Structure 1
Amino acid sequence: MNDMTEEWWPELAPKVTQTVAEKPSYRVVDVHTHFSVLAAAEIARPFFKPEYEPRSLYSSAETLRYNREYRASARQTAQFEDAEARLADMDKQGVDLQVLAVPPTEYFYWLDEPHAVQASRVQHERFAEIVARHPHRFAAVANPPMNHPELAVEVLREAKRDLGFNGFELSADVLGLDLDHPRFDVVWEAAAELEMVAIMHPQGFTHGQRMTDYYLINVMCMPLASTLATTRMILGGVWRRHPDFQMIVVHGGGYLPFYFARTDHAFEVRPELRKHIDHRPSDYLRKLYFDTNVFDPDMVRHLVTEFGAEHVLLGTDYPFDMGTVDPLAFIERVDLNDHERRLVLGGNTTRLLRLDQP
């Protein structure tokens, strides 16, 4: 690395500043944020192996170094771990309420059952504490131990019953196992029964050998992982078997919402795609929801046009540097009418996660 790179490196981290957009009179809700729970990370730390974290496993030395320094900065530490620091940023952004979820590095799917339950409960208790302290500013979703599906169902029931969580976060794979595998059907069935919405957020891409340079393991692979997972879930018949299961896919849903016509065409001409579904793949895709963290206003407009404003939700990926720093200003650039904007900025998340319920 040359000296010039080292000089401008610290300036890469985005700093939240006062929004340049006008704050609407209605509530603005951010469905895609991450909050770190260090006590749970300490439980998991003794059992960690590098192969459990594909985003690090396939990162270059330059990326790993930058990530360490960036995450250790005082600003990032406060944003990830301090609710009060987040409130100050939210006020600048014009965001009234954040939905808290763990960072994907804290799924800890590789833990055995006793430690997995312990880590999830510590995370959930921390989230519940923050929500209780700031009920009008934060909501939260669960982190079920997906590598133990029956246990994941128990954890979801507990989070719903005891803490009032109406959603859960999950990765785009579980230790490399795809989500169309039948062993996860008990989770989708329980989620539909409990009316808990899934938020798919990939942890990385499990086959990233060609993606180590240029931060492609995040830039390209995060939406790629969601694309693969969503496509497999559709073609594997997840929504045919569980039509009431609801899922939000962050990063605008990956690439599939912008190129589903090819998959529809393959469904018409290839028998391999028709084993588990009896409708076009895009018919199932239209049941899903997508956030706005896509960086291009025209892409948000495409999502609204193609899937309806009711299926698009404001999401920033706060506090990661691959997030939307001024979400109100970004959505202001999208060609939306007042009704569409109201739905995107908070109405849809409020409805899906039932945020108006006590």
Structure 2
Amino acid sequence: MAVVDIHAHFVPPRLLTAIDGFELRKDSVWPEQLFHNGRPLGPVIPRLTELDLVLDDMDRTGVDVRVLCTASWLFCYWAEPDLGMRFARTANDALAEAVAAHPDRLAGLATVPLQDVPAAIDELRRAVGELGMRGVAVGTNINGRYFDDPELFPFLAAARELDVPVFFHPDNVAGEDRLGPYKLVQMIGNPHEATLSLVRLLLSGVLARLPGLKVSFPQAGGSIAYLTGRIDHAWQVRPEAHAHTDRPPSTFLAECHFDTITHSTVPLEILLRHVPPAQLLLGSDYPWDMGEAVPGRYVRELNLDPTDQAAVLGGNAARLLGL
């Protein structure tokens, strides 16, 4: 069974110069960072932009197929809608070119301008129908709005109609203003943000209203495996928590997918008490330092039978994405 990495990032080099106002320059932390009209967006490193390095690292670490999305700081939900659409279309076109050059090794997840929901739906249809994208990567929130917001519901409905997965990537992390030192945003902020986004979906009734919607959360859903009992208890005793769904929140977890980026077997073992192995997807967060340098290391250390292990390492992703 092929090894498929569901969570990796790539920024095609031509994207860095394709938009008026983009500029690469050094800042106090990174040798190169991308700015747009003076606004810092995110760091640029060779393994993020050089496809030969991506492929070499796949060979070195035993990854057969890597599913790429742009860096989350290029979602650019802060931009005016027209500019946001230019960001998304340019990113999708450039990513599709990279995938087309190596279709047996790479697959792509689209990005869409969710600050304008109708435009995002149009771009999702184009990216899937014309460019062959296998799904869509979205921020966990859109300028502070989570996916229990009724205005975002039509986008999720469109993803279900197209039968493509929605990968929720931490972005605009809640409490970021208090997570400055010690790399806390990446260390605990991102998993917390994934948990927050997921729990709002579980309690809002969105998943009940959209049966069959394929959703995927990184970092094993953050702390969801530890908090499931507490969340179900709140649903039982608090009217606010069960106002929108007549099912215990935990019963929806087996309908969600989770990547395996945990840096330990323990969170995966706990998550597997709540969801079957068929819902786990190998992830690496390549090429960032908070990702897993050897994708699948902790999956292989789990006490899974060979069939389930092969499914987590690649079969589940192949099924979900139609690879």
TM-score (norm 1): 0.82
Q: The residue matched to 1:205 in structure 2 has which SS? A: coil
For 2:177, give the aligned amino acid.
Q
Deviation at 1:177, TM superposition (A): 1.4
Q: The residue matched to 1:305 in structure 2 has which SS? A: coil
Aligned positions, number: 311
- Does 2:99 correspond to 1:131? yes
- Using a 3 Å threshold, how does the CA distance of structure 1 residues 77 and 131 change in structure 2: closer, same or farther? same
Whole-angstrom CA distance in 1 between matches of 2:58 and 2:22: 35
- Does 2:84 correspond to 1:94? no
Whole-angstrom CA distance in 2 between matches of 1:331 and 1:284: 23
Q: 1:103 maps to which residue? A: 71
Deviation at 1:329, TM superposition (A): 3.1
- Using a 3 Å threshold, how does the CA distance of structure 1 residues 109 and 204 change in structure 2: closer, same or farther? closer
Whole-angstrom CA distance in 2 between matches of 1:44 and 1:242: 36
Whether the 8 Å contact between 1:33 and 1:317 is mirrored in structure 2 is yes
Q: The residue matched to 1:203 in structure 2 has which SS? A: coil
Q: 2:2 maps to which residue? A: 27
Percentage of identical aligned residues: 31
For 1:203, give the aligned amino acid.
D
Whole-angstrom CA distance in 1 between matches of 2:168 and 2:233: 26
Whole-angstrom CA distance in 2 between matches of 1:306 and 1:70: 42
Q: 2:253 maps to which residue? A: 285
Q: 1:237 maps to which residue? A: 205
Q: The residue matched to 2:107 in structure 1 has which SS? A: strand
Whole-angstrom CA distance in 2 between matches of 1:145 and 1:291: 24
Deviation at 1:315, TM superposition (A): 0.1
Whole-angstrom CA distance in 1 between matches of 2:48 and 2:22: 23
Q: 1:5 maps to which residue? A: none
Q: 2:37 maps to which residue? A: none
Q: The residue matched to 1:33 in structure 2 has which SS? A: strand
Deviation at 1:41, TM superposition (A): 5.0
Deviation at 1:42, TM superposition (A): 4.8
Q: 2:190 aligns with which of 222, 227, 236?
A: 222
The C-alpha deviation readout for 1:55-97, integer Å capped at 9, x for no partner, is xxxxxxxxx844x14879xxx7321011111111000100001
- Using a 3 Å threshold, how does the CA distance of structure 1 residues 110 and 39 change in structure 2: closer, same or farther? farther
The C-alpha deviation readout for 1:102-160, integer Å capped at 9, x for no partner, is 11111011222222222211111111111111111000010011111111100011011
Indicate the RMSD between aligned Cα atoms, in angstroms: 2.0
Higher strand share: 2
For 1:286, give the aligned amino acid.
A
Q: 2:131 maps to which residue? A: 163
The C-alpha deviation readout for 1:239-273, integer Å capped at 9, x for no partner, is 12111211110111111122111010011111111
Whether the 8 Å contact between 2:165 and 2:216 is mirrored in structure 1 is yes
Q: 1:81 maps to which residue? A: 49
Q: 2:180 maps to which residue? A: 212
Equivalent residues in 2 for 1:1-358 (5 A)? 26-42=1-17, 46=21, 65-66=28-29, 68-69=30-31, 77-355=45-323
Whether the 8 Å contact between 1:204 and 1:222 is mirrored in structure 2 is no
For 1:327, give the aligned amino acid.
P
Deviation at 1:37, TM superposition (A): 3.7
Structure 2 unaligned regions, length at least 5: 35-43
Whether the 8 Å contact between 2:18 and 2:90 is mirrored in structure 1 is no
Q: The residue matched to 1:89 in structure 2 has which SS? A: helix
Whole-angstrom CA distance in 1 between matches of 2:144 and 2:94: 28
Whole-angstrom CA distance in 2 between matches of 1:233 and 1:325: 31
Higher helix share: 1
Whole-angstrom CA distance in 1 between matches of 2:265 and 2:240: 36
Which of 33-42 and 201-210 deviates more? 33-42
Structure 1 unaligned regions, length at least 5: 1-25, 49-63
Whether the 8 Å contact between 2:112 and 2:120 is mirrored in structure 1 is yes
Deviation at 1:330, TM superposition (A): 3.0
Whether the 8 Å contact between 2:12 and 2:98 is mirrored in structure 1 is no
Deviation at 1:43, TM superposition (A): 5.9
Whether the 8 Å contact between 1:310 and 1:343 is mirrored in structure 2 is yes
For 1:34, give the aligned amino acid.
H
For 2:78, give the aligned amino acid.
W
Which of 231-240 and 312-321 deviates more? 231-240
Q: The residue matched to 2:235 in structure 1 has which SS? A: helix
For 1:298, give the aligned amino acid.
V
Q: Of the two structures, which has the highest relative contact order with CA contacts closer than 8 Å and spacing of 6 or more?
A: 1
